[in-house]
């Protein structure tokens, strides 16, 4: 087959190939060739294949390439009638390339490069892109949540109807929960839609999920329903719904968690249902809302987001055979504000010694009592991730409640619990009565009355 017989890049084709493994058939979209004399396809499963022209026995055109929307100077040109969306870039794999001299992934992809690489965005919305950082998400701290929430507020003030935040996936669920609290914790809702997205594979890898995730997030920000504010939709996480291409899930930002280190469908809604699915096809993305999602406009629109107090110190501990009293005493000595312990099962701690052979347990109980009496706050969540914290089922849980430990009847995951506690401390200081009362509330959809099974 001659190079002149190959349709334009972006065309969808069915290709028959004769190779060492015999005759195979591929269906996908033509990419720039991997090398001279080759044809490269992006397959429906998201991966790429390349074959020499000499091995191609037949090639059938299924659909013409979608034309790129560009001005004469080569820049993307947007339809003035489309809604205005601002992409706020913070870094992460969606904005990274592979350094092929070392094999390492480095964060260096500029917002303008993202737009040039995904011209389909011009058919969804008018796009502005700003960069407020270029960092991995595991380096993010509360001050960065404040920076991002302020950047979203500025975007709305300057006319954007929606915002897409691009960041690394490792702490994306923490950022989404923090921004949800910032915008809606006091009972309001943001002026527009906010979607956070990223990618599990760098943008220049054949298996990258970056383009579809970004297109889906822009679709939600531009054309999604008006936010409710109390259903986990103030800020959503938009990522691949499966290993294959073609569908992304819209997760409630206050009830979501990264549950796999490398899969493209790494994110899961926690104790809640996904809000919607976004189907991606050659006709463009479309939103399919879940039946369980029924937003209203009852909440007032918030003018500005609240801020996390970056001086607050919360120690994050894990219950089990290695939790010692010395850790609690060390937090007290450091002048910490609160302790968050990921308890076992329904939210239990090792504080009893029925066989009289584990004095560490009674020492831990005594240390927690000292901490509580000094004004320190202790919150328990569950290592199980999904399911409620219920400290009324067993006597141990009731003892923990008597000790002043918070967390009973909570239905948010451990990360969301910690972030909610930080936000409450930022609003109420160490007023234990106000924090205890607010803890039982479902502020932004993080503590839904009805959990998904």
The answer to whether 152 is a known catalytic residue is: no
Does the annotation mark 139 as catalytic? no
Burial of 392 (0-12, 13-18, 19+ CB in 10 A): exposed
Buried b (16+ CB within 10 A) or exposed e, 303-339: eebbbbeeebebbebebeeebebebbeebbeeebbbb
Question: Dihedral through CA 89, CA 316, CA 312, CA 406, nearest 10?
Answer: 120
Q: Which of 90, 93, 175, 378 is catalytic?
A: 93
* Residues 278 and 248 sit within 8 Å (Cβ to Cβ): yes
Residue 169 annotated in active site = yes
CA atoms of 203 and 313, how far apart (whole Å): 36
Residue 186 is a catalytic residue: no
User: Which of 170, 233, 337, 415 is flagged as catalytic?
Assistant: 170
- Are 234 and 186 within 8 A, CB to CB? no
- Residue carrying structure tokens 């020499």: 52
Round to whole Å and give the CA distance between 275 and 139.
29
Return the residue matching tokens 């994050």. Answer: 316
DSSP category for residue 225:
P
42, 258, 365, 420: the catalytic one is: 258
Cβ pair 59, 53 in contact under 8 A: no
Residue found by looking up tokens 């297109």 in the block: 215
Distance CA 359, CA 357 (A): 6
Q: Which residues have a catalytic role annotated? A: 93, 169-170, 258
């Amino acid at each position: 087959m001659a190079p002149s017989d190959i349709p334009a890049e972006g065309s969808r084709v069915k290709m028959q190939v004769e190779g060492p493994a015999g005759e195979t058939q591929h269906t996908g979209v033509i990419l720039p060739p991997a090398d001279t004399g080759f044809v490269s396809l992006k397959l429906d499963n998201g991966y790429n294949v390349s074959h020499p022209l000499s091995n191609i026995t037949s090639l059938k055109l299924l659909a013409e390439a979608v034309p790129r929307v560009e001005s004469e100077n080569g820049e993307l040109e947007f339809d003035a009638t489309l809604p205005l969306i601002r992409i706020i870039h913070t870094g992460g794999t969606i904005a990274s390339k592979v350094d092929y001299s070392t094999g390492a992934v480095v964060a260096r992809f500029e917002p303008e490069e993202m737009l040039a690489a995904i011209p389909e965005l011009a058919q969804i919305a008018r796009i502005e892109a700003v960069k407020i950082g270029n960092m991995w998400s595991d380096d993010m701290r509360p001050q960065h949540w404040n920076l991002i929430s302020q950047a979203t507020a500025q975007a709305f003030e300057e006319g954007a109807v929606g915002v897409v935040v691009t960041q690394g996936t490792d702490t994306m669920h923490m950022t989404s929960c923090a921004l949800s609290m910032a915008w809606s914790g006091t009972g309001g809702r943001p002026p527009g839609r906010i979607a956070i997205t990223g990618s599990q594979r760098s943008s220049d890898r054949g298996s990258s999920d970056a383009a579809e995730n970004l297109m889906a997030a822009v679709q939600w920000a531009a054309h999604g329903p008006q936010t409710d504010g109390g259903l986990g939709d103030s800020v959503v996480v938009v990522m691949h719904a499966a290993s294959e291409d073609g569908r992304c899930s819209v997760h409630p930002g206050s009830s979501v968690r990264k549950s796999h280190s490398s899969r493209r469908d790494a994110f899961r809604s926690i104790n809640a249902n996904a809000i919607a699915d976004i189907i991606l096809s050659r006709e463009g993305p479309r939103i399919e809302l879940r039946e369980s999602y029924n937003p209203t406009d009852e909440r007032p629109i918030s003018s500005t987001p609240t801020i996390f107090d970056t001086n607050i110190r919360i120690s994050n501990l894990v219950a089990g055979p290695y939790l010692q009293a010395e850790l609690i005493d060390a937090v007290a000595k450091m002048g910490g504000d609160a302790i968050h312990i990921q308890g076992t099962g329904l939210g239990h701690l090792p504080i009893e010694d029925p066989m009289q052979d584990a004095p560490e347990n009674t020492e831990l109980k005594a240390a927690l009592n000292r901490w509580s009496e000094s004004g320190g706050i202790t919150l328990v969540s569950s290592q199980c991730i999904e399911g409620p914290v219920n400290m009324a089922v067993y006597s141990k849980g009731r003892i923990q409640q008597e000790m002043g430990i918070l967390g009973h009847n909570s239905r948010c995951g451990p990360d969301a619990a910690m972030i909610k506690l930080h936000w409450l401390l930022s609003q109420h200081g160490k007023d234990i009565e106000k924090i205890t009362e607010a803890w039982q509330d479902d502020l932004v959809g993080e503590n839904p009355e009805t959990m998904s099974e």
